Structure 1
Amino acid sequence: MKKEKKIKKKHYNNLSTGLINITHHGYAFVHIDEFQNDIFIPKNKTNRALKGDLVKIRFYCNRKGIKMKGEVLEIIKRKTKKFIGVLKLNVRYNDKYGIVSNNNIHVDILVPIQKLKKYHNNDKVLVQIVSWPKKFQNPLGKIVKVFGVSGEYKTEIFSLLEEYGISYEFSKKMENEAKQIFSKSILDINFRKDMRNVNTFTIDPLDAKDFDDALSIRKLNDDTWEIGVHISDVSYYIKEGSLLDQEAYLRATSIYFVGKVIPMLPKILSNDLCSLQPKKDKLSFSYIFHMNSQGKILKNWFGKTIIRSNRKFTYDEVQYIIEQKKGDYYEDIYTLFLFSKILIQNRLKNGSIYLDKMEVKFDLDQKNNPISLHLEKNNDAHRLIEEFMLLTNRKISEFVSLNFNEKPSNKLYIYRVHEKPDFQKIFFLKKIIEPLGYFLDLKNLKTSINHLLKEIKGKPEQNMIENLILRTMSKAKYSTKNIGHYGLSFIYYTHFTSPIRRYSDIIAHRLLYHYLTNNKEYKLNTTDFYEKQSLHCSSKERLAIDVERTFLKYIQVKYIKKFIGEEFYGVITGFTDWSVYIDLLLFQTEGMIRLRDIKEDSYVLNSNSYSIIGKKKRKVYRLGDKIKVKLIDVNIEKKQIGLHWMNNV
C-alpha cells in the first residue's frame, strides 16, 4: 500500500489540457495528443464540466503507464452555454425547478418554476446555463427560445437548424437586394449563343422548384447530334462580394428536408429568376458538344447562352417515355437515353464504382405527418440526367486543367476530389462479408466492389453491405489541389451543374468565365483564398448531410410509431457489448435490442465484434443475418426504435 501511494504521488503532478467527452453515465475521457489512450475521469471528478468543454486536468498513470486516471481542475472554455432540450414540468426538482432534458449532455438543466409560467410541459426549448453553484449537482439555466411542442414537424426542423447554427431567414436588406436583381433583370443577349430555337427541356423530381439544368438536342446529320447541357447562369446575377454573395457563401448549400427546403438563395432567385422554367427566356452557362452514334465526342464548346425550355418533365414522365417508346419529345429523349447508356458503360470500363442505393421517400399529410413510405431507386430517367451532369463536370475541369496538347495548364480551379479508401476499412469490410459468402479482391478493388454490388442486389443484406461500402470510402470534398476522383475514376472533376443550390459551383462558374474571356472585371484571387473557400464548402456540405439525416431519422421514427406491436424481418447491422442493431427491411431504418433482453439464450459479444454467441446452445448470430423482431417502443425525441427479439432458433 505504501509503495502504491508513493507511485500515485509521484505521477499525480502531470498537468495537461484537452477536450472532455462525458458519457451519459457521468464518467468521462480526455484525449491528450502525446498518449495513445485517453485519460479516464471518474464521475465525481468531472468538476461541473460538460461534453466538449476545454478543461485543465491533473492525471497519473499506473506503473505500466497504461491505465491513466485524472480529475478536472478547471474549465478553460465551455464548448457552449446554450442547449436544446425538452422542458419537463411534470418532473420537478425540489418543487422549485422545472427540468430541461438534453440528449447531448449528461445532466439536466434546472429552471426556476416562477420563470416557467408561460411555458408548457414537453415544449422544446433553447436554454442557456446561467450558473452552476458548487452545492448543486445540476446547472441552473434560463429559457431563451421556444420552438413548440417536442415531436412536431416545425419544432423539429427549427430546433435542428438552431442546433447546427444554420441560417434559415434572409434579412430585409438581402431580400431587397434580391428584388432589385429581379426587377433589373434585362436579358443580356449580345454576347450569348442563342439556343432558343433548339428543343430543350428540364427533367426533375415532381416537387422541384429550382431547375438548375436543362438538356437540348438536335440532329445535325445521319451520324451526328448536337447536345447542350445548360446550367443556370447564377454568377451573372450574384456579383462577388455583394450582400447576397456573402450570405450564399456562408450557407454554401441548400438543405433538403422531407417536405421543406432551406435555400441558399432567396426564393425570388432560386425558384424564379435563376430557375430554368419552361416557356421563358433564361440565361445559362452551357457545355455544347457534337456526338456520333458510337457516343464519341467530336467537338466541345463552353460559353454563355440564352435558352427557352420547351417543357419541364418529371423523372416519372421521362421513365414512362423510355419504357413505352412514345410521348412528347420521344425521339430526343430516347436518343439521350441511348447516349447515357454508352456513357455509363465507358465510365464502368474506366473503373468507376457503381453504387445505386435505394432512397427512403415519405408522403406527408397537410399537417406534415408521414402517412406513407416508399423506397425509390434510380431509374433510367435519373441515370440519363446523372450521366450528362457527370460528363459536363468532367469536361469543364479537363478544359481548364489541360492545354490543347493535353499537357497540364496549371490554371487555378476548384475540383471535386475523392481519395482512395482506407485499407483498414476495406479489410474490415472483407472480414464481415466473407461469412456471408461474398469475396473482395483487394488487388482489383473497384471491379470487385462492382461485382459485389451486383451480387447483393435483392438480398436481405443489400442495404447493410451498401452502407458498409459507403463507410469504407473517403468523403469527397472540394480543393484547389487536384488528386482526382477515386470513386468515379476521373482524373479531373468539378461541380458546375448546380449553382442555385451549391456555392462551390458558383466559384467554378466564375473561374471558367475568367479563363474563357480573360475577363478583366474578374480578377483571380490567391490560391489560399480559393482553398479556404473549398474547405468551407466541404465543411458546410458535411453539416447539411448530417442535419438532413437527423431529420430523416425523426420522420422515420415518427412514421414507424404506428406499427408498435407488429412483427417484422430485419438484418443485423451491428453489435456492442450490450446491444444488437437491426435494420428493419421494410423501413430501411435501424432499431436496437439489448442483449440481456434476448430470452432464447444468454448472448455475449465475440471478441472480433462481428458476431454474438449463446452461452448454452452456442448459436452464433453474425452481421447480415436475417431475424424476426417485434416493434415494442419508439422514442421520437431520442430518435430511437426499441425491438423485441422473437425466438429465432
Structure 2
Amino acid sequence: MGSGTFEEPLAGVVVLAALTALTLALFSYTDLVIFVGLISVFVHAVSQAVGQLYAAIESLGASCDAALVFVLAVFSVSLATAGDALARDREDGGMLGADGDGSAWYVYVVGASHISMLAVGLSPVLLFVPRYGFNLCFAQQRFVAAALRVAGSPAVRYITFSVYCALVLLLLSNAYACFQLLREAGLAAEEALSLPTWAETGRRLARATRPRPLSDSGWTVRRVVREHYLRDDILTGSPRIDAPHLEPRLSPDAPRYLVPDANVLLHQIDVMEHPALQDVILLQTVLAEVRHRRVALYNRARAIAADPKRRCVVFCNEHARETYVSRAPGESANDYNDRAIRTAVGWYAAQLEGSVEVLLLTNDRDNLRKARAAGLSAQTVHHFAREQRACPDLADRLAGEDDDGGDAGGEAEGGNAGADGRPDAKRARRASSAQATTTPATGSGSARTLAAPVRGPFAPYPPHLSADELKAGVASGELHQARLRINRHNTREGFVAVAALGAGSPDVRISGTEALNRAVHGDLVVLRLLPVGAASAAGARPAARDGAQADDEAAQGASNAPSVGVYLPELGARAEDDDDDGGGGGSGGDGARAGGGGGGGGGAAHDGVVERRYGVVVGIARRNWRACVGVLDFGTQRGNSFVFEPVDVLLPRASVSTRQAEALRNQLIVVSYDGWTAEQRYPSGHYVRAIGPVGCKDAESDAILFEHDVPLRPFSAQVRACLPAKGWTIPADEIGRRLDLRESSLVCSVDPPGCVDIDDALHVQPLANGNYEVGIHIADVGHFIKAGTPIDEEAAMRATTVYLVQRRINMVPERLGEDLCSLFAQVDRLAFSAIVELTDDGGVVGARFAKTVIRSHAALSYAQAQERIDDASDASALTQSLRTLNRLAKALNKRRRAAGCLVLASPEVRFQLDADSSEPSDMGVYSLKETNAMVEEFMLLANTAVAREINAHYPQLAVLRRHPPPRAGAFDALQRALAQLRPPVALRVGSSKELADSLDAAVDFALPADATDPPAASTAQSATPPFDAYLNKLVRIMATRSMQQAEYFRAGAHSRDQFWHYGLAADIYTHFTSPIRRYADQLVHRMLAAALGLEPLTPAMQRAEALDALVDNMNRRHVAAQHAGRASVNVYTLFFFRDKKEAVREGGYVIGLRDKAAIVLVPRYGIEGIVRLDDDGVEGAYRYDEATCSLRTPFSMLRIFQKVTVSICVDVTKPHRPRLVVDIAEPRVRRAAPPAGGSSTA
C-alpha cells in the first residue's frame, strides 16, 4: 500500500462500521436512532485514530499496512465482543434491559467523546503540560463510569467499554502523531508551542462541542469574555452630565435619581412600576441579570424605560470607560454585579457633585452595607417606600418583609432567594422554624422510602419535602411530578395526569385542602400516590380560627359563582371554538363534566373499569403565581390586614396588608401573591393597584382584560407611523400589479349588524361550462403590515382582537381595521382572493389565488341578506347572486356532512344595550340564519384551499390549524346519561362521522317514567324551544364540551396524520379569512404570497423556532380572548338581573349532577348555574347515582336532561361580592324555600 492512499482503508472502516451497526440493530430491540448515534461516535473516533497513526507511522518509514491491520484488529475485536454480548442478551429484554436509561446513557457516551475531541484540539498543550491531560482523562472516566451505571444489561457495558477503548486509542494516536511531527521538524518545545494560541483554539472547540450540563457532574459553566469594547461617549440621560444639545431623559430638577439593583426588579417590580417613581436609572448590569433570571420581569422593566412619563434612562455601564470594572479572580457573579452597580452609582454621584442625590435601592444586606461604607446613598426598598408619605399606596406594593429580597414564605418554591438565587440567612432561619423537621429518608438507592414530613403543632398544613428529597423521590418513581388542575366547581379538589399510570388511566384526584397542601391551579406539583383503594378525606380543610371563618371558607369552596360577578360557573369551555372552524373547547377536565358526576379529565368515565387513584401533594416544583383581580373582605379586617378574595375561583384567598383600607372598600384591586408557608392559613400577598368600583361596567371590563392578560395599552406612535398618511388612495401602479375585479364581479359582504371591520366579501358568477366561479375576497392587511415593522411586532404580540359585550380591543390600529382594510360598500379596496370553481352540487374543480382590487356593491347584515333571499319579488342581480351563493353553500355543507363534519351548538348570548346608559335592557340566545351558514361555508372553503396551497410549498413551515379527536373516555359520562333515556340513545364516537350520525339521530326520546313531569311553562318561557325540539340541541351542547381545543401549529411539528380537524372532518385546515382580527391569518397571507411568487418569505418565517414561538403565543392569546368574551357576558348577565325587583323564574334543563349539586342550563338566557343542595341533617339525602345518572332528593328525583323551573336573582348579602344565584324552584328538592327575590343594588 503506497503513501497517501488513506481513502481506501477509511472506506473499509466505514463499510465495516455500517455493517456492524446493522447487525447489532437486528440483534437488539433498542431505539435505532440511539444506536446509530453511538456508531457515529465510534466510527469518528476510530477513523481519526487510523488517519493519524497512518501518517505518523508512514513518516517513520514503517509499514502502513501494519498500522492499519493493528487499528482494524482493535476495532473488530471490540465490536465482535459487543455483538456477541448482544446476541446472548436478546432474551433479556433488549439492549438496555428493564433497568436501563437509554437517553441518559447516550448523553454520557457523547460527553466522553466530546472530551476526546477537546483533547485533539489541545494536543500540543497536553504534550508539554501533562497535568491537563490527566484532568481530561479523569473527566472522561467520570462520563464512562456514569454510562456504566445507567447501563441495564451486560451488552451495553461491553459497548460502553468498547467506545472507551476507541476514544483512548484516538487520544494516544493523536498525541503520538503530534510528537513525531514535532520531532521531525526539529523544533524545541518552547519554539513550537504558543500557549495563548493553542489555549484559545481549545476553548473554542470546547464551546462548540460542550455537552449538555449534567446535574451530577459538579461542573459550572462560566461566561468568559476576551474582548470588551469601552466608550467614553455613552449618554447618561442627565442634563447635568451630557452635552447641552442632547435631549435629556432625567429631570434636572429632580430631588434624586433612583438606581434599583437586580434584587429590587426581581422581587419588587410592582413598586418600581408605580407611576410616582420617576427619574430612574436602569443599569445594563441590572437588566442583564434580570433578563437571565426572569424574562417576563425584564420585559416589564423595559416597559418602564420606554414610558416617557417615567423619565427613565438605561445606562450601559459595562461599556462606559468610567464605570467598567473587570471581574476579580474568584469573585462570584453576584458580587461582581453588585460591585459594578456600586461603581456606576458612585460615578453618577461624583459627576453630579451633590446637586442631585443618586440613591441606590437594594434589599441585599451585603450590597447595602458596602454601598454605605463607600459613602454612597443607599436604602432598602422597604425603607424608601415607607418614607414616601405622598404615596401611601407605594408601601402597600411591597412584597414580603424588609429583608434580603426573598418573597415571604414558600418551601421548595424558589421564592426565598436573593438576587443570585441563594436563600438568605434570615429567611432560611425563618423557613426552618416555620416548618417542622422532616424525617429523613430511610434505605438507600432507588429502594429507599421517603418518610412523611412531621407537621408542626399549630401548622394548618404539613411541610413540603426538601428539594433534594423531591428530586430523589421523582427519580426513584416513588413520587410523581405533574401539573395541577383545580376543580372549578369544588376548589378543595384537584386533578393531575400521572404519566406513570399509563395512557387512558383516570387522572389522580387530590381531595381536600390538606392533600392539596398549598398548591394552586397551574402549579407543577410533586405528589405521592396513596395506596389503591385509599382516598384522602374529601372536604378536609385546616381548622378555622373561628366558626364564622370556617363557614365562610366552606362557602367559598362550594360557591356557585365567584365574587364580584366577573364570572359565572363554566362547565368546561363553551361550545364555539371559532366562528368558522367548529372546534370544541373542552376544559381539559378541571371540573365536573356536563352530564356526569366526577370530573377530572374524564376520570369518572373510567370508574368501574380502572379504579381512580388518590394522591397528596408533598412539594411544589414550580409555582404558578400571578397577579390577580379581586376585592378585600372587610369582614375579616384585623388592623391593617384583610383577606383578599380573587374573582377567579381557581385561585386561593390571600392575606393582604394595606394602610389605605377605606379607599379600597368595594373596589376591584390587583394583588400579587408572595408566598405560602405551612403556618399560614392563606398565602401572603401585596396590593398592586386599584381598578375601579365593584359593579362599574368599565372597571369590570378592565378587570376581565387584566385577568386574561389582554394588552390594553394604546398603540404607540411608532406603530401608528407605519400607516399611510391621511387621504391615502390606491396607487395606480399597485392596481396595475393586481387582478382588477371592480367592474367584472358583483361583490358584496354579509356580516353581523354594526360590523365596521369587514374583512371578507363574496361574489359568484356562472361559467360557460355550467359550473360557478366563487370569489372569496379577504382584506389585504399584508399590504399595510410588513414583516418586522413596529406594527407587525405589535400585532404579533396581541395576536387577536378581543370582543367584549360593549367593547373591542383591536389587534391592529382602528384606522387600519375600520377604514383602510375594511371592505366597505362602493369603495375601492385591496384584497387577497381565493377564486374557486364549483360544480352545481358543490364539487370543487379547482382554486386559484391572486392579489386583487375589488369594489363591494353592498355591505349587508345577515338579516338584510336573508330578507333579500326570502323576498320572492326581489329579482335584482345582487339578490340572485345571494341565492346562488346560498344554494352552493348548502351543497358544500351537504358534502361536509357526508364526510363526517360535526354540527355543534352553544348557548351564545346577545345583549340589547340601552343607547344612553349602555345598560343591558334585554338578553337572549343569538339566533342563526341561513346567511350565517352561507358565509361560514365559503370561509371554510377558502381556508381549506389555502391550507393545501401553502402546505404544498412549505411542508415544514406552513401555519395550519388542527382539532385533535376527543380524549379516551371523554364521552363516557354523556353516553351513560343517554343510555337512561327511553328509548336509549346510542352515541357512537369511533369517528367524527359516527358521532355526527349519532347526534343527528338523537331526536326522538324522553326521560324515564319515574322522572318528574316538566312543570308548566311560565310566560317568559314562551321563547324557549319546545321540550322535545330542544333536547337535540342540548345533546349537541354537551357533546361539544367533550371536545378538545383546536390549535394552531407548524406543519413540520406534527406528522401528516395529525393534521386532521375533527370538528370539520377536514384533512388539512388553516385560517386565512380574518387578517384584521387574527395574526395567524396574516402569517398565512405572507406564506401564500410567497408560494405565488409575489414576495419572498421573510428570514424569520423560515426559522422553525421563530414560527413555533408565534404559534404558541397565538394559541395562548386565542384562548384568553375566548375566556375574556365569556367573562364579559357573565358580567352583563349579572347587570341584567341585578335590576330585577324579584327573582326571575324560567325553564331550564339539568345537564350535570353530582353529590349535593345539580348543574342547570337556562336556554332563554344562556345561563348555566350550579345548584348546591345541603343534607338537611339527613346523611346521604342528596346522593348521586352514577349508574342511573340521577340524584335522589327527599322530595323528588333529578335526572340528566330533565326540565325544571329555576329562579334567578342576584345575591347582595356581601356588597363587595354580588353574585348570581340560580336555584331549582320546581320540582321541590329541599326543605328550605329557594331565594325569593333579588335586589336592585349591587
TM-score (norm: length of structure 1): 0.86
- Count of equivalent residues: 632
Aligned residue in 2 for 1:11: 451
Structure 1, residues 449-476: CA drift from partner, whole Å, max 9, x if none?
3414666885343453222110222322
In structure 2, what is the Cα distance between the partners aligned to 1:222 and 1:62?
Answer: 72
Structure 1, residues 122-180: CA drift from partner, whole Å, max 9, x if none?
11111245688998755665432222111222111111111121102234234433444
Q: Does 1:390 align with 2:940?
A: yes
In structure 2, what is the Cα distance between the partners aligned to 1:503 and 1:304?
Answer: 19
Aligned residue in 1 for 2:1037: 467
In structure 1, what is the Cα distance between the partners aligned to 2:670 and 2:764?
Answer: 53
> By how many angstroms is 1:65 displaced?
7.9
Comparing 530-539 with 504-513, greater Cα deviation is found at 530-539
Query: CA 1:234–1:609 in 2, change beyond 3 Å: closer, same or farther?
Result: farther
> By how many angstroms is 1:609 displaced?
8.0
> By how many angstroms is 1:106 displaced?
3.5
The amino acid of 1:611's aligned partner reads S
Query: CA 1:608–1:251 in 2, change beyond 3 Å: closer, same or farther?
Result: farther
CA RMSD of aligned residues (A): 3.8
> By how many angstroms is 1:494 displaced?
1.5
Query: CA 1:359–1:183 in 2, change beyond 3 Å: closer, same or farther?
Result: same
Q: Does 1:641 align with 2:1221?
A: yes
**SS at 2:1090's partner residue?**
helix
Q: Does 1:111 align with 2:621?
A: no
**SS at 1:160's partner residue?**
helix
Contact kept? 2:643, 2:656, Cα under 8 Å = yes
In structure 1, what is the Cα distance between the partners aligned to 2:516 and 2:870?
Answer: 67
Query: CA 1:496–1:115 in 2, change beyond 3 Å: closer, same or farther?
Result: same
In structure 2, what is the Cα distance between the partners aligned to 1:64 and 1:345?
Answer: 50
Comparing 562-571 with 211-220, greater Cα deviation is found at 562-571
Query: CA 1:65–1:226 in 2, change beyond 3 Å: closer, same or farther?
Result: closer
Instruction: Decide which of 409, 417, 420 is 2:965's aligned counterpart.
Output: 420
In structure 1, what is the Cα distance between the partners aligned to 2:719 and 2:885?
Answer: 39
In structure 2, what is the Cα distance between the partners aligned to 1:383 and 1:45?
Answer: 47
> By how many angstroms is 1:427 displaced?
3.3
Query: CA 1:293–1:38 in 2, change beyond 3 Å: closer, same or farther?
Result: closer
In structure 2, what is the Cα distance between the partners aligned to 1:324 and 1:644?
Answer: 44
Query: CA 1:110–1:643 in 2, change beyond 3 Å: closer, same or farther?
Result: same
In structure 1, what is the Cα distance between the partners aligned to 2:484 and 2:968?
Answer: 30
In structure 2, what is the Cα distance between the partners aligned to 1:471 and 1:22?
Answer: 18
Larger of the two Rg values belongs to structure? 2
In structure 1, what is the Cα distance between the partners aligned to 2:921 and 2:902?
Answer: 35
Contact kept? 1:200, 1:214, Cα under 8 Å = yes
Structure 1, residues 181-231: CA drift from partner, whole Å, max 9, x if none?
767664421210001112111111112111110112334448344321110
Contact kept? 1:400, 1:411, Cα under 8 Å = no
Q: Does 1:352 align with 2:901?
A: yes
> By how many angstroms is 1:614 displaced?
3.8
In structure 2, what is the Cα distance between the partners aligned to 1:511 and 1:472?
Answer: 33
Q: Does 1:612 align with 2:1066?
A: no
> By how many angstroms is 1:69 displaced?
7.6
Query: CA 1:106–1:476 in 2, change beyond 3 Å: closer, same or farther?
Result: closer
Contact kept? 1:28, 1:43, Cα under 8 Å = no
Instruction: Decide which of 1129, 1145, 1154 is 1:552's aligned counterpart.
Output: 1129
Query: CA 1:44–1:576 in 2, change beyond 3 Å: closer, same or farther?
Result: closer
The amino acid of 2:1125's aligned partner reads E
In structure 2, what is the Cα distance between the partners aligned to 1:314 and 1:63?
Answer: 60
> By how many angstroms is 1:321 displaced?
0.6
Aligned residue in 2 for 1:3: none
1:43-62 equivalence runs, <5 A: 43=514, 46=517, 52=522
Contact kept? 2:776, 2:938, Cα under 8 Å = yes
Contact kept? 1:228, 1:286, Cα under 8 Å = yes
Comparing 233-242 with 426-435, greater Cα deviation is found at 426-435
Q: Does 1:627 align with 2:1204?
A: yes
- For structure 2, the 5+ residue unaligned runs are 1-440, 443-448, 454-464, 472-480, 502-506, 537-613, 1006-1024, 1230-1242
> By how many angstroms is 1:595 displaced?
2.2
In structure 1, what is the Cα distance between the partners aligned to 2:1038 and 2:697?
Answer: 30
Comparing 192-201 with 550-559, greater Cα deviation is found at 550-559
1:496-645 equivalence runs, <5 A: 496-517=1072-1093, 519-520=1095-1096, 522-523=1098-1099, 525-563=1102-1140, 564-596=1142-1174, 602-608=1181-1187, 610-614=1189-1193, 619-634=1196-1211, 637=1217, 640-645=1220-1225
**SS at 2:1174's partner residue?**
helix
In structure 2, what is the Cα distance between the partners aligned to 1:609 and 1:164?
Answer: 39
Contact kept? 2:977, 2:1188, Cα under 8 Å = no
In structure 2, what is the Cα distance between the partners aligned to 1:332 and 1:275?
Answer: 22
Instruction: Decide which of 721, 740, 748 is 1:194's aligned counterpart.
Output: 740
Instruction: Decide which of 699, 714, 723 is 1:170's aligned counterpart.
Output: 714
**SS at 1:461's partner residue?**
helix
> By how many angstroms is 1:368 displaced?
2.6
Contact kept? 2:912, 2:922, Cα under 8 Å = yes
In structure 1, what is the Cα distance between the partners aligned to 2:1109 and 2:799?
Answer: 13
Contact kept? 1:101, 1:109, Cα under 8 Å = no
Query: CA 1:336–1:298 in 2, change beyond 3 Å: closer, same or farther?
Result: same
> By how many angstroms is 1:385 displaced?
0.7
Contact kept? 2:958, 2:1084, Cα under 8 Å = yes
The amino acid of 1:390's aligned partner reads L
Contact kept? 1:60, 1:70, Cα under 8 Å = yes
In structure 2, what is the Cα distance between the partners aligned to 1:599 and 1:568?
Answer: 29
TM-score (norm: length of structure 2): 0.47
Instruction: Decide which of 419, 426, 430 is 2:975's aligned counterpart.
Output: 430
Query: CA 1:455–1:152 in 2, change beyond 3 Å: closer, same or farther?
Result: farther
The amino acid of 1:235's aligned partner reads G
Identity of aligned residues (%): 23
Query: CA 1:549–1:455 in 2, change beyond 3 Å: closer, same or farther?
Result: farther
Contact kept? 1:41, 1:72, Cα under 8 Å = no
The amino acid of 1:320's aligned partner reads E
Contact kept? 1:497, 1:505, Cα under 8 Å = yes
Contact kept? 2:508, 2:615, Cα under 8 Å = no
- For structure 1, the 5+ residue unaligned runs are 1-5, 404-408
Aligned residue in 2 for 1:242: 789
Comparing 133-142 with 169-178, greater Cα deviation is found at 133-142
**SS at 1:436's partner residue?**
coil
Aligned residue in 2 for 1:331: 880
1:250-269 equivalence runs, <5 A: 250-269=797-816
Aligned residue in 2 for 1:211: 758
The amino acid of 1:391's aligned partner reads L
Contact kept? 1:92, 1:99, Cα under 8 Å = yes
The amino acid of 2:981's aligned partner reads L
Greater strand percent: which structure? 1
**SS at 1:155's partner residue?**
helix
> By how many angstroms is 1:544 displaced?
1.4
In structure 1, what is the Cα distance between the partners aligned to 2:762 and 2:485?
Answer: 51
Comparing 247-256 with 431-440, greater Cα deviation is found at 431-440
Contact kept? 2:762, 2:775, Cα under 8 Å = yes
> By how many angstroms is 1:40 displaced?
6.5
Contact kept? 2:801, 2:810, Cα under 8 Å = yes
Comparing 246-255 with 37-46, greater Cα deviation is found at 37-46
Query: CA 1:181–1:525 in 2, change beyond 3 Å: closer, same or farther?
Result: farther
The amino acid of 2:710's aligned partner reads I
Aligned residue in 2 for 1:492: 1068
Aligned residue in 1 for 2:827: 280
In structure 2, what is the Cα distance between the partners aligned to 1:340 and 1:281?
Answer: 27
Contact kept? 2:943, 2:1070, Cα under 8 Å = yes
In structure 2, what is the Cα distance between the partners aligned to 1:518 and 1:52?
Answer: 45
In structure 1, what is the Cα distance between the partners aligned to 2:1122 and 2:852?
Answer: 33
The amino acid of 1:582's aligned partner reads V
**SS at 2:1038's partner residue?**
helix
